[in-house]
Amino acid sequence: MTDLFGIPISALLGQLLLGLVNGSFYAMLSLGLAVIFGMLNIINFAHGALYMMGAFLAWMGLEYLGLNYWMMLLLAPLVVGVLGILIERLMLQWLYKLDHIYGLLLTFGITLVMEGVFRSFYGVSGQQYQVPEALQGATNLGFMVLPNYRAWVVVASITVCLGVWALIEKTTLGATLRAGTENPKLVQAFGINVPRMITLTYAGGVALAAFAGVLAAPILQVSALMGSNLIIVVFAVVVIGGMGSILGSILTGLGLGIIEGLTKVFYPEASSTVVFVVMAIVLLVRPAGLFGKEK
Amino acid sequence: QISGDTVKIGFITDMSSVYADIDGAGGVEAIKMAIADMKGMAGGKKIELIFADHQNKADVAASKAREWIDTQGVDMLIGGTNSGANLAMAKIAAEKKRPFMVIGAGSARLTNEDCTPYTIHYAYDTVALANGTGSAVTKGGGKSWFFLTADYAFGASLQSDTATVVGKTGGQVLGSVKHPLNANDFSSFLLQAQGSKAQVLGLANAGGDTINAIKAANEFGITKTMKLAGLLMFINDIHSLGLKTTEGMYLTDSWYWNQSPEAREWSRRFFEKMKRMPSSLQAADYSAAMHYLKAVDAIKTDDADKVIGKMKDTPINDFYVKGSIRKEDGRGIHDMFLLQVKSPKESTEPWDYFKVVTRIPGDDAFTKLADSKCPLVKK
Amino acid sequence: MSELILETRGLSKDFKGFTAVDGVDLRVQRGAIHALIGPNGAGKTTCFNLLTKFLEPTRGSIHFNGVDITGEKPAEIARRGVIRSFQISAVFPHLTVLENVRIGLQRFTGTSFHFWKGLTGLKQLDARVLALLELVDLRDMAALKAGDLPYGRKRALEIATTMAMEPTLMLLDEPTQGMGHEDVDRVTALIKRVAEGRTVLMVEHNMKVVSKIADRITVLARGAVLAEGDYAEVSKHPAVLEAYMGSEAAELQGAH
Amino acid sequence: MTAALEISNLHAWYGESHILHGINLSVQKGQVLTLLGRNGAGRTTTLRAIMGLTGARKGSIKVHGVETIAMATHRIAHLGLGYCPEERGIFASLTTEENLHLPPRLSGGRATPMSDEQIYQMFPNLAERRHSPGTRLSGGEQQMLAVARILRTGADILLLDEISEGLAPVIVQTLARMITALKAQGFTIVMVEQNFRFAAPLADHFIVVEHGEVVESFSAAELPAKQAKLDELLSV
Amino acid sequence: MTALASSSKTPLNPVYGYALLFGAIALLPALGVYPIFVMKVLCFALFACAFNLLVGFTGLLSFGHAAFLGTAAYGAGHALKVWGFSAPLGLVFGALAAGVVGLGIGLLAIKRTGIYFSMITLALSQMLYFFFLQASFTGGEDGLQSVPRGSFFGLDLGNDLTLFYVVLAIFIGAFWLIYRTVHSPFGQVLTSIRENEPRAISLGYDVDRFKLLAFVLSATLAGLAGATKTLVLGFATLTDAVWTTSGLVILMTLVGGMGTLVGPMVGALIIISLENKIGDLGKVLADLTGINWFNGLGESVSLVTGLIFIVCVLAFRRGVVGEAIALWDKARAKA
Ligand SMILES: Nc1ncnc2c1ncn2[C@@H]1O[C@H](COP(=O)(O)OP(=O)(O)OP(=O)(O)O)[C@@H](O)[C@H]1O
Ligand SMILES: Nc1ncnc2c1ncn2[C@@H]1O[C@H](COP(=O)(O)OP(=O)(O)OP(=O)(O)O)[C@@H](O)[C@H]1O
Ligand SMILES: [Mg+2]
Ligand SMILES: [Mg+2]
């Protein structure tokens, strides 16, 4: 067997694949952030908390209502989307005229409240959520045994990411959204209800986070704090990718998952910092990020 | 002569964060049970309990402790989970001369490098856990080990303590991988562990990390080829993971609710109130409070030095443990248990999770006086 | 020194495949009031942004006093004495009128990084500040917050602050925009006054102002220079009439 | 009969600059009104104020008799207004066709919306370039696209800001024919024009704006009589 | 800025006001207020004032200020405990260490503005947090414990009261420096940059260098707060460096009033008291309303903090002191 720096190539392939799984989460979350940022010019700090909420909804659906994974994969994003509508209508919409900083601070406050609520009801050690029947078991790929569920995560999230990308880049709705980011006033002058479009965009963005949350529930422990560490990494992903393009956020998310995976093999101690190191380097070379546009 | 005419116990623990289930509100309830069992009086005076959440922040814990002693006249402190918080509290208790009974924190430093005349490390420590799990599992045939270690001081000491024991009992450490604290994904580390072909996977981490690692180990089928040994786990972790996931795992603890009739009896009372079975820490909270209150009751004073003397002189003998507190360094010495998680089929009732595999005598479990790094121990 | 204070050669700026400024050769005579006019979106403001390096030119070079300053940073260019005003009013609203102007003067004291010093050192500048405010009829308002001034007065304050920099070349972007008649006249007179001994390059839509004070006019259209000359020449130039002033105006003029 | 558009005492601001100082005008259904004036006089601002795109507005704007001064922009549009901005507002991230399809059908529009075929017939250039990004079009094509875009929506009042600007004479002639055709179909049109030659034969009514106020108002019939006055007002 | 601007018009010299304030603080222990609590508040007040120097007077919202608090806390702790530095030297060392880290982060972050700036500072400080978590000298999760207080120019700091006056003196000194900075030629330029950056550039100021100096100053002073805190409490822990602490200092400044000099002090007092007393408040509320849930309020600090954040951002952006000044200005405008 061939080695690379003392690690068998086959093991390396396995690690790359696992990196891709994590990258799928980064991609989905940073995609949601990018969509929201594009339309609302708000960095949605609450993204991590809404992701957590998605996972919790999956668990609650099963626990209290007996709704299975597949139902919740649909329902949780809907519920969180409605919550997003409320957040946008009741709070965010008053902040657009102000400095963007206030949006960041408000959503930070929302994060604290949501985490606090879930923590006070469910504690922190977390709830257990089983992998759905259909996806249990693992497949032997030769170089590694890949649990079917992880394969599903990659497939599902890449599908969703590409779907969102296609929706935004290829449809009338997407065209309206893109136009709205370019020149919201003119779009409104054409009779399109831009405020409502903004609300729905926010709802859609956070629904993506909830979807990621449901996907994560069977892999991770469902707990109140599951989003708060992730969100900062996703921020770094966003800074590295540059807030410009939808495709950029997807690619950067996947790419960083893989880089992180490789770090876990060669220098595991640095695996939690590598994203930030990459960020520092990218900022030095390209202050606007890899796919971002200057100013 | 009881200061302030009340015997005031201060309990500081994690009530809202990762360790809240293991101790937290249940710990408060356990101490209240002890007070109730004393009829609310010790040495002829009223007993009072105040408690606070340190949110796993050492600074909050220490400030609370200091403030309580300075302004509330607290006579004794019970420290819940989190070693950092407890080390900080130990400093304050020693400075202010108050008995400090550590229950939930595992760091062996509390009775080694950082020992004080006022610290009593009552329930367990990482050395005991390492000795229990490390030696018992190795003796039981798990000769080759691989460690999955949280990358910070505590994880490193758990690993090195256990590795030493494994080596002594004829086992072999094949390797280890460090993971960041609160890692969100363990699959990559587990793949590396699997690559080592070791028989035992030692989990030198805690809380959420342990839980997530076990989940992933199941998912990747690693539990089929390796035995899992949790180096710092409690019954609540098993409860939240479920037996299906944890079946066959080894862990060491100071107590299990189903280990004896008296333990069962107390646990039922606890269950009435909390709707869950007690962890070893909650039982220890009760036991420690009781031990202290009985000492105060016996000598009719809450003077710190005298009460500590009395506590160290009196053997502990209750449903929790039979043992004593070592005079020199304040280490509580009692038996520990190597437990194995039952399979779902073996479990006959809720919370029936463990088989007791071995009883480890206290003298073998805890650091020997000869090996102690406590400056108070004269060699 | 040469007659030309500012010269650009082939100055261009592309935005994503769209050329906003296209090979402009601008030549500003020392001591002149030079107006830059042209239809909306002709690239006038963009030109200003290039000259002061708020934007990076895509092609071409900028020469100031014969020195190539194309590679310099905005602050460096400002320190050479090329000071601009903005199309949208640019004062420091929470500072007083006096402080606004003093910020300009302060740079010359070399104490701007001294965070441990009090403001007493700056007080000595106040006399000069007041003199400048006198010039723009703002002396009485010295203690007011700049944000509380009426719009026209803000533009005057901006000019005073610009003056404080002892500019050799002032770039004014639509100094009379959004003003009432009397303010326009006032500011026109003011520009005329302050232009003594220095050079002014201004963007202006108000032809009354331009015809009154501009010595020379460059007309931009679609990013390129369409015509250049004094007012009489430019206002007769057919291409200018076509692109900017309206060809029918000429027709009408010819009609009577 | 209510006017299609009736404005009285309209004031408007951009931030702190007070631009419109009490505009009064009214347009009957099926008429073409042209706003004349010098650069910066406030004509564009008048159109933008009708759409609710300026800063603060005061006064009264009635569209088909409905007061819109307090309405949100998109609601105003749905009363049947189509706006073609001076800067054209072609979206760079959209293709020509996407740009064309962007404005939705207006609920209150009274005109028959044009089909794509009709539009492409009117502007063959656009059909050719339907899949290229909007801002890759030439200036003239962009102008066509900006006009074409509002014909699909069913808007019956068109606000056209300098649509002839920067276009080759042939295209200007096309536009002139188009406006005549639209007028024949009953469209109400408000135009801002610099190009008097273009506007003169099309308009039923003229208004001259100066410093945010209406200084002259006369019908096409009065045009010859007003020529001298106009000359003075518009001269440079 | 507004604080000074408005008070400078009144005949009363603001210096008297501050003297009165600090005099009152100096008397607190004599009135039976717990000195350690006051010292803790003072440390956080200094932290918030330092942060405010950046956000309130320069317009840069750093979401990574915990990095400086943490760096200095560990730096000073290590210097005092392991290298045996004297207290003053330890403090200076801690503050300087934070300043150096501030220079590094500042160089990377200053190129971007607005939310980008916030996100970059947040991410970089999180990187530093992981470093502290893993580095051996910090004691990881356990923290750096039992840092000796030692003596300060001959004064024995073991005594709480002595330490209190030393801390108060440090605070006054640092506050004076901030006051000075705000009202210095440098401060004038900072204000102009915050109010209209392009205009400041066009006046010939190299704004990046001004921002960087402000950033480093703010980091150093935040460091001083962290070092002093270590001295007072005797330990440095990861709490000092974690990102939620950065959030906390933003909250303090927001609640007190961004861009006012005393605002952050008031904010720190409110938030620290809340953290300490919210459990009691919950019990009172539970007794009053009979709703048992309130008893658990003590465990829900973050929930309450979050609510305050939301309320402040939506309805109370000027903060306590800011609103007070606005009221005062209004009243005077009427008079
Ligand atoms: N940052 C930019 N990105 C893309 N296009 C730009 C940018 N800045 C300006 N433009 C475009 O460049 C052209 C010239 O703009 P500029 O502001 O220079 O016009 P102007 O001559 O000053 O017009 P006005 O008289 O209306 O102020 C316009 O079409 C404008 O839309
Ligand atoms: N966004 C804006 N902010 C501030 N002032 C503006 C803005 N847009 C236009 N103005 C000013 O408002 C005044 C009127 O402008 P408007 O665009 O309505 O003129 P116009 O008559 O259409 O002339 P033209 O289009 O030929 O330049 C001008 O002085 C212009 O500079
Ligand atoms: Mg311009
Ligand atoms: Mg116009």
Q: Tell me, what's the pLDDT at E286? A: 73
Q: Work out the pLDDT band at E72, boundaries 50, 70, 90.
A: very high
Contact E233 B59 (CB under 8 A): yes
User: What's the rounded Cα separation, in Å, for the pair C94 and C146?
Assistant: 6
pLDDT at E92 over 50: yes
- pTM, entire model: 0.83
Q: Tell me, what's the pLDDT at C248? A: 41
Q: Tell me, what's the pLDDT at C128? A: 85
Looking at CA atoms only, how far is residue E82 from chain A in angstroms?
Answer: 26
pLDDT at E299 over 70: no
pLDDT at E78 over 60: yes
Q: Tell me, what's the pLDDT at A206? A: 94
Q: Examine residue D56 and state whether it is found in any structural domain, yes or no.
A: no
Q: Tell me, what's the pLDDT at E94? A: 94
Q: Examine residue D189 and state whether it is found in any structural domain, yes or no.
A: yes
Distance of CA D124 to the CA centre of its chain: 22
- Put simply, whether E316 touches B (Cβ < 8 Å) is no
Percentage of chain A with pLDDT > 90? 32
Q: Examine residue D6 and state whether it is found in any structural domain, yes or no.
A: no
pLDDT in tens, E266-281: 999 988 888 777 777 7
Q: Which atom of ligand 2 is nearest to the CA of D45?
A: 18
Q: Examine residue D58 and state whether it is found in any structural domain, yes or no.
A: no
Contact A280 E130 (CB under 8 A): no
Contact C199, C5 (CB under 8 A): yes
* E295: nearest Cα among E314, E307, E281: E281
Tokens read off for A132: 């759905």
Reported residue count of chain D is 236
Task: Judge B/E contact: 3 or more CB pairs < 8 A.
Answer: yes
Residues with CB under 6 A from ligand 2: C 40, 177-178; D 14, 17, 19, 37, 39-45, 86
**Relative to the alpha carbon of D38, which ligand is closest?**
2
Per the prediction, chain D carries an average pLDDT of 85
pLDDT in tens, C157-196: 888 888 888 888 988 888 877 666 667 788 888 888 888 8
User: What's the rounded Cα separation, in Å, for the pair E122 and E142?
Assistant: 23
User: What's the rounded Cα separation, in Å, for the pair C23 and C222?
Assistant: 11
Range name among A169-178, E43-52, E264-273 with the lowest pLDDT average:
A169-178
- Put simply, whether B53 touches E (Cβ < 8 Å) is yes
- Put simply, whether E308 touches A (Cβ < 8 Å) is yes
User: What's the rounded Cα separation, in Å, for the pair E30 and E17?
Assistant: 21
Q: Tell me, what's the pLDDT at C81? A: 86
Q: Who contacts E68 (Cβ-Cβ below 8 Å, separation ≥6)?
A: E50, E98, E101, E102, E218, E219, E220, E222, E223, E226
* C141: nearest Cα among C128, C151, C130: C130
DSSP structure class, residue D16: T
* C179: nearest Cα among C209, C135, C143, C142: C209
Tell me how many residue pairs between chain C and chain E have CB atoms under 8 A apart. Answer: 106
Q: Work out the pLDDT band at E66, boundaries 50, 70, 90.
A: very high
Q: Give ∠ CA A50-A51-A54 in degrees, rounded to 5.
A: 85
Cα E37 to Cα E158, E172, E298, distances in angstroms: 16, 17, 18
Q: Tell me, what's the pLDDT at E244? A: 86
**Per-residue pLDDT averaged across D1-8, rounded?**
84
Helices and strands per DSSP (H, E), number in chain D? 9, 10
Residues of chain C in contact with residue E189, where contact means CB-CB under 8 angstroms, are: 103, 106, 112
**Per-residue pLDDT averaged across E290-307, rounded?**
74
Domain count, chain D: 1
Mutation target vs B (from A119, A135, A229, A264; most B CBs, 10 A cutoff): A264
Q: Tell me, what's the pLDDT at A6? A: 64
Q: Examine residue D23 and state whether it is found in any structural domain, yes or no.
A: no
Q: Which atom of ligand 2 is nearest to the CA of D48?
A: 18
Contact A243, A143 (CB under 8 A): no
Which carries the bigger pLDDT value, residue A73 or residue C253?
Answer: A73
Q: Examine residue D24 and state whether it is found in any structural domain, yes or no.
A: no
Distance of CA E10 to the CA centre of its chain: 28
Q: Work out the pLDDT band at E43, boundaries 50, 70, 90.
A: very high
User: What's the rounded Cα separation, in Å, for the pair C121 and C114?
Assistant: 11
From C37, C40, C155, C187, the mutation candidate for ligand 2 (largest count of ligand atoms within 8 A of CB) is C40
Q: Work out the pLDDT band at E18, boundaries 50, 70, 90.
A: confident
Long-range CB pairs of D71-74 (<8 Å, 24+ gap) are D72/A188, D72/A193, D72/A195, D73/A185, D73/A188, D73/A189, D73/A194, D74/A188, D74/A189, D74/A190, D74/A191, D74/A192, D74/A193, D74/A194
Q: Tell me, what's the pLDDT at A244? A: 63
- Put simply, whether B34 touches E (Cβ < 8 Å) is no
Give the residue, by CA position, lying nearest to ligand 1 atom 18: C43
Q: Whole-angstrom distance between the N-terminal and C-terminal Cα of chain C?
A: 48
Q: Who contacts E74 (Cβ-Cβ below 8 Å, separation ≥6)?
A: E132, E137, E138, E144, E230, E236, E240, E241
Distance of CA E288 to the CA centre of its chain: 35
Contact A105 E254 (CB under 8 A): yes
Q: Which domain holds residue D117?
A: 30-41+80-234
Report the CATH number that the domain containing residue D91 is assigned in CATH: 3.40.50.300
Percentage of chain A with pLDDT > 70? 95
Using the mean position of ligand 3's atoms as its centre, give its distance from the Cα of residue C144 in Å.
Answer: 29
Residues of chain E in contact with residue C52, where contact means CB-CB under 8 angstroms, are: 202
Per the prediction, chain A carries an average pLDDT of 86
Tokens read off for B310: 């009395």
Q: Examine residue D223 and state whether it is found in any structural domain, yes or no.
A: yes
Q: Who contacts C209 (Cβ-Cβ below 8 Å, separation ≥6)?
A: C176, C184, C188
pLDDT in tens, C44-74: 888 888 998 888 899 999 999 888 988 888 8
Cβ of C43 less than 6 Å from ligand 1: yes
Q: Who contacts C202 (Cβ-Cβ below 8 Å, separation ≥6)?
A: C33, C34, C35, C36, C170, C171, C172, C173, C175, C191, C214
* B10: nearest Cα among B69, B95, B90: B69
Tell me how many residue pairs between chain C and chain D have CB atoms under 8 A apart. Answer: 69
Give the type of residue at A42: I
Give the type of residue at A38: G
Q: Examine residue D14 and state whether it is found in any structural domain, yes or no.
A: no
Distance of CA A6 to the CA centre of its chain: 34
Q: Tell me, what's the pLDDT at E214? A: 93
Percentage of chain D with pLDDT > 70? 96
Q: Tell me, what's the pLDDT at B261? A: 92
Q: Who contacts A48 (Cβ-Cβ below 8 Å, separation ≥6)?
A: A29, A111, A209, A227, A228, A229, A230, A231, A234
For chain E, what is the largest distance between any 2 Cα atoms, rounded to a whole number of angstroms?
64
Which carries the bigger pLDDT value, residue E19 or residue B33?
Answer: B33
pLDDT string in tens for chain B (379-residue length) = 777 788 999 999 988 777 778 888 899 999 999 999 999 888 888 999 999 888 777 878 888 898 899 888 899 999 988 888 888 899 889 988 999 999 988 888 889 888 999 999 999 988 899 888 888 888 888 889 999 988 776 788 889 889 998 998 888 999 898 887 777 778 888 888 888 888 999 999 887 788 888 888 888 888 888 888 888 889 988 988 888 888 888 889 999 999 999 999 999 999 998 888 999 999 999 999 999 999 999 998 888 899 999 999 999 999 999 999 998 889 999 999 999 999 999 999 889 999 998 888 988 889 888 888 888 887 6
User: What's the rounded Cα separation, in Å, for the pair E60 and E253?
Assistant: 13
Virtual CA dihedral for E160, E166, E170, E175, nearest 10 degrees? 80
Q: Whole-angstrom distance between the N-terminal and C-terminal Cα of chain B?
A: 36
Kindly write down the DSSP assignment for every residue of B107-123, as one continuous string.
Answer: -GGGGTTT--TTEEE-S
- Put simply, whether B192 touches A (Cβ < 8 Å) is yes
Contact E309 A116 (CB under 8 A): no
* B64: nearest Cα among B110, B107, B34, B96: B96
For chain D, what is the largest distance between any 2 Cα atoms, rounded to a whole number of angstroms?
49
**Per-residue pLDDT averaged across A207-234, rounded?**
88
- Put simply, whether E134 touches B (Cβ < 8 Å) is yes
Q: Work out the pLDDT band at A28, boundaries 50, 70, 90.
A: very high
Tokens read off for E64: 């990574």
pLDDT at A295 over 70: no
Q: Tell me, what's the pLDDT at A5? A: 63
pLDDT at C79 over 70: yes
